[in-house]
Structures are given as C-alpha cells and as structure tokens.
Amino acid sequence: MGNGLKQGRLVGWLTSRLTIPAFAAMTGALLSIFLFVVIVALEVVFRIRGTDAPVGFTVPFPVIVGMLIGTIAISSTACYLLARPLQGVFVRFTGYMMSSRGDVDADLHSLQFPELRRLRVATTRTVRKLRRENDHLRKIAYRDSRTGLPNALAAEKRIIETLPGASFERPAAFILLDIDRFAHLVEQVGAGHGDMMIHAAAQRISKALSDVPDPSASALRGSMLAALTADQFTLFMPNAGSREHVIAIARAIRNAFNDPFTILGRPVTMSLSGGIVMAPEDADSPQKLMQNAKLALRLVRNESQSGFRFFTPRLTRIVQGRYRFEAELRDAVENREFKAVFQPKIDFATGRIVGAEALARWRRSNGKLISPAAFIPVAEEAGLIEEIGKQILEAACEAARTWELEGHDVTVAVNVSPSQFQRNDLTETVMGALRRSGLHPRLLELEITESMAVSDPARVAEFISPLRAMGTKLAIDDFGTGHSNLATLTQLPFDVFKIDRQFVSALETDRQAPAIVEMILAMAETLGLKTVAEGVETTKQADFLRRRGCTMAQGFLYSPGLPDQAFLELLRAWKPLGANDETGNPDAYQVPRR
C-alpha cells in the first residue's frame, strides 16, 4: 500500500509538471524500453530452451544499445508529435472558456475525434448559457429595477473612469437630487406605490435633460443620470464646462416638476432639491462628490426646505459646527440638562392661575441658556426630540403633583412633537409618567399642533382615547395656522383651542387679526371648547380677548416661564383680586414682580 501511494505521488508529480506532449514522449520512451527488453528476453529464452545454445548475441552489444536508443528516440518523438494536436485542442478550449467574446468557438470546428466534437458541443452550450446568465447578472448589478436607470454602482464606475479627466479649465459637475417630502407623498398615494412615483420622476428628469437647449446641452455630453436607493438620483456631467451650464440644467430639472404628476388617476405634486459639486474644484473622488453634495443638500433643507445649492468650503465649517452642536445635544440628553419651565395660564373669569404650559429649556453646564429655536430643529433631525419630550413630560408631572399636594388645582400642559406622535408607545409613555409621579390624569393636558391633528385624525383618536377615559385633556396648539375646517375638527376629541401668538400679537396692528380671533373664538364656542390665547403681552390684548369670551390667557404680560420652585412661589403669592375688573388690568391681580 505504501509503494502504491509513492507511485501515485510520483505520477501526480510528473503530470503536474509536464506538458501533454512531453508526458506522451516520456511514456512512449518507457514503453519502447519495455518492449525492447521483452523482445530480448524472449530471444534469450528461445535460445536456451529451443537450441540449447549458450547465452549470447549474434549482434554486437554496442549495436544493440544503439538500436535501443534509436527505438526510444523514434517512439518518443512519434508520441510527442501525435500529442501536439491534442494539446492544441485543450489550449483552444481553455481560450474559449477564458474569453468573454461570443465567436471564439469558430476555431473549434476542425476537431477530428467524435469524442472531442461532442465535448465541443457540450462545452459551447454550457459556456453560452453561463454567459447569458452573467450578462443578466451584470445588467441587474448595474441597473435600478424601478426606473431602468443606472444605479449607484454604475454611477460610481463612470465617475472613477472619467473624473481624472476633469480640470479647472474643463470642470465636471455632480448633482445629488432628492424628492421633497417623499414620505408624505407616499402616504398620499399609498405605501405600495412609492416605486411608481420614483419611475415617474425618473422619466420626467430624463425628458427634461433631453430638452435642454444649446449651448447648455453640451454639458450633458457623456453624462449619466442614475437612481440611488429611496428617493434620490444623481447626475454626473464629466463635460460640464461651466457653472452657467450647470445652473441652466438644474433649472430645467426643477421646472420640469412644475406640472403635477398623475399617479393612479390622482394628481400628485412633486418637487426636487439638489446639492451641486464642481470637480476638481470641490472634490476629487466619488466619495467626496457624494459627501459634499449631501452637505449642500442638507443646508438647502435647513434653510428653505427646497431648492438647489452649490457646495462651498464654508458649508463644511457650518456642518462641522452643526455636528459638534449635535454631539453636545446628545450629551445634554444623556446628562438630563433639559429642564422644564412653567408659564402660567390665567382664567379671565376668576383671575386665578388655572394651568401652566411646560416649556423645554437647555441650560448648559457652563450656565449658558440655549434658545429652543436653536436646539429643537437639531434635536428633531437627530432623533433626540422624543427623549427630550419624555424628560419634560416626567418633570411636568412631578411638578404638577407637587402643586396638587399643596392644594393648587392647576393643570399642566405638555407639547407632543410630531415624532412622538408617530410612536406606537406614546400612550404607554404618558401613562408611565402619570403612574410614577402619582399625578391625577385630569391635571395633565397634552398639546398637539393643528397640522398633526388634521393629517391623521384616526391616530389622534387612537392615541388619546385611553387617556381621555382617565380624564386627561387634549389641546390643539397653534390653532389658525393650519388648514383645518369645522367638519374635521368636530371629529377630533379636543378640549382646548390655543390661539396662535401671531394672531394675538397682531390685534393692535392688523385690521384683519381681530376678525380672525373672533372667528376662532366663535368656532370654539360652537364646539363647546375652552380657548387659550398665547403670547398676550399688553393690557389691550387682554381686554379684547376677555370681552370676546376667551377662556384663558398666557404670555409675558403675566409671567415668563418659571422653574418649578419659582412657579410654586408664584402660586402661593397669587391674589386674583381683579377677576371682575372691567378694565381687564392684570396689575389688579397683584402679580409678584420678577
């Protein structure tokens, strides 16, 4: 068994190092030696047994050796020459298998042996099938199935191939296109039809590019429009030429979306925004092109929500500052640096403090107070607003429980952000805060904006029903700024309308503002709801609201937002002596000055 393994290893070693003709020549030589030895042996045996002649050769020994060498040479050469065509066959087969061309098998028709011809046929069919599958996979790998456009891989490949040719004299341009408010549009047409909208948008963009007139059309030579994941497209123009051409093309794309789309027989209005990067001025790789285009697009979203913008190095500094601010915001959430302050609500009929709105304030570790207008948009974008809202809700419930224990019947109102409103566990979160603080549910009021309420009335009912059964109230915030109508509002389970501060502040300067406020108050009275006027700052505003039947007022005329302990002191000191004062002067309420 050991000898067999050694022989097998020897044969394997030889076949791995010798070509087919060389192996055939060696085999022929060995075979000729074997046959020569057999013939000589038979001759010797015949002499001994047949003629009893002594062992010997009539031919001289050198001649015998020469004959052996000649036989070896002839047989090995013959085997080598006969094996060369077979070697050529395998070489051609190998070339056929390794080639990506489809006509290489033309060289295989001259095969002589039937077995090889059958092998040719089987190999040709198999390779052609594999090539078809490979072509299909390549098409899938570089095409977007929704639009038929090249995908991100194809765009990156094109950029890598052509970007090195860009120069400051002949720059390239890259535009990242994003559909505005795509998630909202998908909700409008139905969740299963988002791909249909993407396909329609791709066709509209392609049509706009094909209609770009000269000389701007020259910038599209060699360009590639590609579809990315979700709702984004890219347009790479290796021969952009100038910013003026790029601006004209961006304008043509944006104008193409002026007309509404028809999706499932319904008109749908879409618009595009874009971030534009010039190369090599602002980027020298596909990664930097995409990164800088995203920065430009992000600034569009932050400033105007829609439009096109060129990337500039200044944007990097702005975004880096924003990233640092976001990191500080995350640390602040983790360290619970957000505190609730409470702005009182004054009942016009009794002059008492009957409620308070909990407002989020961020006081950094260095004592600096950050405006909500600065941190709330960033918190919403970073996904931190939910945690901030949860902390304010907890603080508000704990403070209101303290007021309740001191005998003050004061309701606390907490704002619910749009992202909180979309969470399925919002009801459980509110119940948990009530349970941990011990606050009675009737002393908690939740505020949602008018646009949130109207956009999904069913969600409002689902969210508030269990809480409302316990006594919790629901207020519609910033009323008058949305697009509500009476029919919609009658279906919503609200208890309070909050009149937006823009109408209150305009009472003394805008002739239409009093009529709008009176209309809101009349609507609330019709529906049997209480009203709160926000942003009351003058006695004239307060007098107008009280005479028109507004239920409560809130604003700097009475008090700014106060920390929980200061608000408790305000409750203790408040003496509503002027509840029925005809002048409506809040000084008669003896508000402690702060």
Give SS3 for 431: helix
CB 269 within 8 A of CB 240: no
Q: What is the mean pLDDT of each run of 10 residues along the chain (594 residues)?
A: 57 68 84 83 72 63 80 86 79 65 51 62 74 73 86 91 90 93 78 83 93 90 89 93 92 92 85 92 90 88 80 78 83 89 94 94 81 83 87 94 93 88 84 93 89 75 84 82 58 83 88 88 87 92 92 93 92 71 46 40
| Counts of helices then strands in the chain (DSSP H, E) | 21, 16
Angle between helices 385-405 and 426-437 (to 10 degrees): 30
Res 581: pLDDT: 47
Q: Answer yes or no: do 368 and 447 share one domain.
A: yes
Q: Which residue has the tokens 């509002």?
A: 489
Amino acid occupying residue 197: M
Q: Tell me the HSE value of 220 on the side-chain side, using a 13 A CA sphere.
A: 21
Helix, strand, coil percentages in the chain from 3-state DSSP, rounded to 5: 55, 15, 30
Question: Does some domain include residue 514?
Answer: yes
Res 194: pLDDT: 82
CA angle 351, 408, 581 (to 5 degrees): 10
Res 480: pLDDT: 61
Q: What are phi and psi of 275, to 5 degrees?
A: -110, 130
d(CA 283, CA 199): 30
Q: Answer yes or no: do 347 and 294 share one domain.
A: no
Question: Does some domain include residue 76?
Answer: no
Q: Answer yes or no: do 280 and 414 share one domain.
A: no
Closest residue by Cα to residue 333 from 392, 417, 399: 392
Q: Answer yes or no: do 349 and 463 share one domain.
A: yes
Q: Answer yes or no: do 208 and 290 share one domain.
A: yes
Q: Answer yes or no: do 399 and 300 share one domain.
A: no
Q: Which domain holds residue 386?
A: 326-573
Give SS3 for 355: strand
Residue 42 tokens read as 């038979």
pTM of full prediction above 0.75: no
Q: What is the CATH number of the domain that holds 236?
A: 3.30.70.270
Question: Does some domain include residue 446?
Answer: yes
CB 169 within 8 A of CB 181: no
Res 594: pLDDT: 37
Secondary structure of 291-354 as H, E, C letters:
HHHHHHHHHHHHHCCCCEEECCHHHHHHHHHHHHHHHHHHHHHHCCCEEEEEEEEEECCCCCEE
Peptide bond into 85 cis (omega under 30): no
Q: Answer yes or no: do 301 and 336 share one domain.
A: no
Question: Does some domain include residue 353?
Answer: yes
Q: Answer yes or no: do 307 and 369 share one domain.
A: no
> How many C-beta atoms lie closer than 10 Å to residue 153's C-beta?
13
Res 314: pLDDT: 80
Q: What are phi and psi of 196, to 5 degrees?
A: -65, -40
Q: Answer yes or no: do 463 and 521 share one domain.
A: yes
Q: What are phi and psi of 101, to 5 degrees?
A: -80, 155
Residue 317 tokens read as 């500094």
CB 592 within 8 A of CB 579: no
Res 467: pLDDT: 86
Q: Which residue has the tokens 């028809």?
A: 262
